[in-house]
């Protein structure tokens, strides 16, 4: 009988192969066990992922809304500034247009004054132009500030000087007006320059 000769290298190689197969199976089982989670852990993790996704979506929506609102506000601001500038420009234009007839009247009056001999007619013409100009001011909300025999008030008057009051009743009152003051609606646009009794 022939005896089978064993190759010591083959046996070691086989052992190593078997051992590596066992090791790889063992690693696979460990990896699979790690991946396996309890049902409660799966639902918690899934819920957290869903919540994170929902929060990210909400954040993206809010960010988009914010950016759109900022852009709309910037457009609104620019449009408002442009409209305001146009209003100021057109208001000044309409004011000048309304002043032109008064300038025409003054020019006619000056032309007439060169050859006029009747002083009374000239005075009446100037009075008419003045009345027309005062009406124009009232139409635009401008009114003169009353001064004479009024109590001195720094909200409307600017004292140029003080003089001794002629009577006891005129102390602290306006005695004379050097320059008329004017108000536009409720705002003083020029203070009246006055002399006050003391």
pLDDT digits (tens, 9 = 90+) for 71-121: 999 999 999 999 998 888 887 888 888 889 999 999 988 888 888 888 888
User: pTM of the entire structure?
Assistant: 0.54
Instruction: Give the percent of the chain with pLDDT over 90.
Output: 50
Instruction: Specify the fold of 143-198.
Output: Nucleotide Exchange Factor Grpe; Chain A, domain 2 (2.30.22)
Predicted confidence at residue 43, as pLDDT, reads: 82
Question: What's the mean pLDDT in 148-171?
Answer: 91
Contact between 136 and 95 under an 8 Å Cβ cutoff? The reply is no
| 168 to 146, 172, 178, 188, 198: CA distances (angstroms) | 21, 9, 22, 30, 9
Contact between 155 and 123 under an 8 Å Cβ cutoff? The reply is no
More confident residue, 94 or 131: 131
Average pLDDT, the chain: 84
Is the pLDDT at 1 greater than 50? The verdict is no
| Alpha carbon distance 137, 118 (integer Å) | 29
> Among 28-37, 112-121, 178-187, where is mean pLDDT lowest?
28-37
Give residue for tokens 């197969």: 21
Describe the crossing of helices 39-115 and 119-139 by its angle, rounded to 10 degrees. Answer: 170
101, HSE (Cβ side, Cα atoms, 13 Å) = 10
Question: What's the mean pLDDT in 113-133?
Answer: 88
107: left (phi over 0), alpha (psi -120 to 50) or beta: alpha
| Alpha carbon distance 180, 145 (integer Å) | 7
């Amino acid at each position: 009988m022939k005896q089978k000769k064993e190759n010591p290298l083959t046996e070691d190689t086989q052992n190593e192969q078997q051992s590596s197969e066992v090791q790889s199976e063992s690693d696979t089982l460990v990896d699979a066990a790690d991946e396996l989670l309890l049902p409660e852990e799966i639902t918690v993790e899934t819920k957290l992922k869903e919540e994170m996704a929902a929060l990210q979506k909400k954040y993206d929506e809010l960010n988009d809304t914010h950016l759109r609102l900022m852009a709309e506000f910037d457009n609104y601001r620019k449009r408002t500034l442009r409209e305001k500038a146009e209003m100021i420009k057109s208001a000044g234009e309409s004011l000048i247009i309304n002043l032109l007839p008064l300038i025409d009247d003054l020019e006619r009056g000056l032309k007439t004054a060169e050859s006029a001999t009747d002083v009374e007619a000239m005075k009446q013409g100037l009075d008419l132009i003045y009345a027309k100009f005062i009406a124009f001011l009232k139409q635009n909300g401008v009114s003169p500030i009353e001064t004479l025999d009024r109590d001195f008030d720094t909200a409307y008057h600017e004292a140029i000087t003080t003089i001794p009051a002629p009577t006891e009743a005129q102390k602290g009152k306006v005695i004379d007006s050097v320059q008329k003051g004017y108000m536009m609606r409720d705002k003083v646009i020029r203070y009246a320059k006055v002399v006050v009794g003391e």
